[in-house]
Structure 1
Amino acid sequence: MSHTLQDKRPAVADDPQGSLSHARMPRWAPLAIAAGSAVLGCLIGLVAGLDSKIQWGLLAALIFIAGTYLITAKVEGPRQAKNQVATSLVWVCFLVAVVPLLSLAWTTVSKGAGVVDGYFLSHSMSGLLDTDEGGGIYHALLGTIEQVAIATLIATPIGLLTAVYLVEYGRGRLSRAVTFFVDVMTGIPSIVAGLFILSTWIVMLDFGFSGFAGALALAILMMPVIVRSTEEMLKLVPNELREASLALGVPQWRTILKVVLPTAIGGITTGVMLAVARITGETAPVLLLVFGTKLINSNPFEGAQSSLPLYVFEQYSVGTDAAVDRAWGAALVLIAFVMLLNLVARGIARWKAPKTGR
């Protein structure tokens, strides 16, 4: 038996490129396949008379996936080919998601950057017709800041406390009912929230059009997003932290306030900012409740106001070159506003995140 083993061992050692090794694709192979697929997709698009570059890109993606499978199967075998196809699909889906975002950002910046300046940010449309040159977005920017701030102040504590109840206290039918209605509110169209506030706050209670009325509708849209995101963040807090605090005799409410919420503050802040980004671009509730104006109104509780989404809608509806340019400029400011809020939220989350000792 020992002689047999001695005969078999050298076969593996003397043949390092034998049955234990497999041919491998070079690292540059995926890039080469992608480049070749792009060229073939463009050629097929030209020959077939396809005018849309999107169709060329889809053809290139299909060729890339098929080519990856065939070449990998030839070199490495069917098993590795399936793995490469899955990886290729991930990259294709990533590009399909990123390309429209980059295209949107580039279009907005290229068309709006020429309009945005100090005058545009510091003046309103007071005394100007929509067809005139000049004017600015100060009144709309002020209205957006006030309406979003009021909606956030209303929705954040309600959504946060609702999530705390569902995770820490909620049991039985009431908890299931709250969860059900939160799920339903998540899919409510913004126009429905606007109609609800219009029928109750303005028609039934006889309050006038104002920024506060619009903020109420925006708060309704914010609440389910905050509840859902906060609920998931609270569930990620380890139960050992709660049990350790309770074992030391700390009441449950204080455990939630001092242990659970600080641990999840990063995710909670991110969820709130997602909700803010969700409502910042809403137009329908503002159109119904805030009503729109060209004048500067710094009082959100009385009189009509404007907002950036409503301003973009109004200016683009005019259709003149000056109005369309103002619409693109306001859209660029709106995107920058949301981006700035997200950066502030990330800074707050990092600042308030629990510090781990070394």
Structure 2
Amino acid sequence: MSLLDRELSGVVMTPDNIRTKKLSLVANLGVAVAALLVSAALVLGLGIGNWVLVVVLGWALYLVGLLYVAGRVEGRRAARNRAWKSLIYSACILAILPLASVVWTLVSKGVGRLDGDFFGTSMNNIGARDQNGGAYHAIIGTLEQVGIAALIAVPLGVLGAIYLVEYGRGKFAGTVRFFVDVMTGIPSIVAGLFILSFWVLIVSPWFNDGQPRFSGFAASLALSVLMLPTIVRSTEEMLRLVPGPLREGAYALGVPQWKTILKIVVPTALPGIVTGVMLAIARAAGETAPVLLVAGGAAAINFDPFNGNQSSLALYVYQQAGDASKYAPARAWTAALTLVTIVLILTIAAKMLARRNSLTR
């Protein structure tokens, strides 16, 4: 029965009615194995490379072989589709491999000092031959500095994005966008130098009998400068994705603009806003130069972010990685693992809080 006859007779075409040849999984695996064998024979037999070249050449031969075999079995169109699908899967694997390698290296080398001494002590009075010493002071410094920076940058960034999306018109809004774009690309050391020249050398002497003073709060100011453009840009993009009919429906009901933004627009864009905020926090938590310039770093515990030198996990990793002690690399790897874990925990907690919003379900 032809297709026209099926249509006239009322027969509905379903996947059960259609029979096309499909390349079996065994044939697909056979092409892959044959490609690897040929590649190994060429590369290792001629001595022109190692297993990396074997994999790369085998992957190229696999695509060629798959295109040929699938073309003979399924046809040209299905063969091209299968080849492009293999390319996409290969690109995904290539993108995941570096991340998996970094995670594996971090975990395998960072578990060596996961003990109570590392999380309960500082580096105060720890010599080069002492295998003890921890990062308690650096953990406290990171949490305080990033927390204060978030308290400064998040409200300013979100409010700035709301202005640009909902109210910003004319040259002033264009100027704000231009400077936000410029600030996005500034190096972290420039932010540290700015806070050093302004806060540490000019403002802090007013509160310290005319003497400049390093502090964790100065590091928070530098980190907030780095966080602000990321929060503004990401929040602006998320607010622009909110459908216009949501705003129009609220306006039609007589809801003021400020209340529409507060009750409709921001809750709808909240998951994306949280993602941008966490990206900014992750960047701030990993910065070393601003903390070194304006907080100075310290081996002892300092709970006061407004008075005295203070360290951070990123600075601690930098210092331990360059230390001559044979026990320092283990501390550096564990501190790096701790920093990644803290950022991961904060991200998960923020995502869970954002999902509780009823408008985003």
**Which TM-score band (shorter chain)?**
0.7 to 0.9
The 5 A counterparts of 1:99-110 are 99-110=97-108
Structure-2 residue corresponding to 1:175: 173
Q: CA deviation at 1:116?
A: 0.8
1:57 Cα deviation from its structure 2 partner: 3.7
The answer to whether the 8 A contact 2:148-2:220 is kept is yes
3-state SS, counterpart of residue 354 of structure 1: helix
One-letter identity of the residue aligned with 2:189: I
Q: Counterparts in 2 of 1:288-303, with a 5 A limit?
A: 288-303=293-308
Distance across 2 between alignment mates of 1:352 and 1:80: 44
Shift of residue 62, structure 1, vs aligned partner: 2.5
Question: In the alignment, what sits opposite 2:111?
Answer: 113
In structure 2, the CA distance between the partners of 1:264 and 1:24, relative to structure 1 (3 Å rule), is same
Structure 2 residue 251 is the aligned partner of structure 1 residue 253: no
Shift of 1:36: 4.4
2:124 is equivalent to residue 126 of structure 1: yes
In structure 2, give the amino acid aligned to 1:177: T
Identity %: 49
Q: CA deviation at 1:187?
A: 1.5
Q: Which residue of 2 aligns with 1:15?
A: none
The residue type equivalent to 1:150 in the other structure is I
What residue in structure 2 maps to residue 76 of structure 1? 74
CA change 1:86–1:303 in 2 (3 A) is same
Structure 1 residues 28 and 292: alpha-carbon distance in aligned structure 2, compared to 1, 3 A threshold:
farther
CA apart distance, 1:44:
4.6
Pairing 1:85-104 to 2, within 5 Å after superposition = 85-104=83-102
Residue of structure 1 equivalent to 2:188 = 190
Equivalent residue number for residue 214 of structure 2: 209
Segments of structure 2 that go 5 or more residues without pairing to the other structure are 7-17, 206-211
Contact 1:202 1:209 in 2 (8 A): yes
Residue of structure 2 in register with 1:340 after alignment: 345
Go from structure 1 to structure 2 and tell me whether the alpha carbon gap of 1:98 and 1:199 turns closer, same or farther (over 3 Å shift). same
Q: Deviations over 1:189-216 (max 9, x none)?
A: 2122112212222233344211111111
1:56–1:155: structure 2 CA closer, same or farther, 3 Å change rule?
A: farther
Compute the displacement of 1:71 (Å).
2.6
Distance 1:329 1:133 in 2: 14
- Structure 1 residue 85: deviation in Å? 2.5
CA drift of 1:128 comes to 0.5
Q: Distance in 1 between matches of 2:295 and 2:233?
A: 28
Greater Cα offset, 215-224 or 147-156: 215-224
- SS of the counterpart of 2:232? helix
Q: Is the 8 A contact 2:113 2:334 kept in 1?
A: yes
Instruction: Please list every run of 5 or more consecutive structure 1 residues that lacks an aligned counterpart in the other structure.
Output: 11-19
Once superposed, what is the RMSD of the aligned Cα atoms? 2.5
1:164 to 159, 162, 165: 162
C-alpha spacing 1:33/1:197, structure 2 compared with 1 (3 Å): farther
Give the SS at the match of 1:296. coil
Q: In the aligned structure 1, how far is the partner of 2:310 from the partner of 2:186?
A: 24
Question: What is the aligned partner in structure 1 of residue 15 from structure 2?
Answer: none
Amino acid aligned to 1:208: R
Match for residue 277 of structure 2? Answer: 272
State the Cα distance separating 1:48 from its structure 2 match.
Answer: 5.1
After TM superposition, the score normalised by the length of structure 2 is 0.87
